[in-house]
Amino acid sequence: MTDESTTNCGPACEEALERLESFLDGELPEEDLGVIQQHLADCHPCTDRASFEEQLRSLVRHKCVDKAPPALFDRVRAHLGDAALG
DSSP state of 26: T
Give the amino acid at 44: H
- Do the beta carbons of residue 15 and residue 36 sit within 8 Å? no
Question: pTM for this structure?
Answer: 0.62
- Give the pLDDT score at 1: 44
Q: What is the CATH number of the domain that holds 74?
A: 1.10.10
Closest-CA residue to 46 (of 19, 26, 78): 19
Domain range spanning residue 48? 4-85
- Is a pLDDT exceeding 50 seen at residue 72? yes
Give the amino acid at 37: Q
- Give the pLDDT score at 86: 57
Helices (H) and strands (E) in the chain, counts: 5, 0
Average pLDDT, the chain: 85
Counted domains in the chain:
1
CA 21-23-25 angle, 5° bins: 70
- Give the pLDDT score at 44: 94
Closest-CA residue to 18 (of 8, 30, 28, 31): 28
What is the tens place of the pLDDT at every residue in 1-27? Answer: 444 444 457 888 999 999 999 999 999
When pLDDT is cut at 50, 70 and 90, the band that residue 29 belongs to is very high
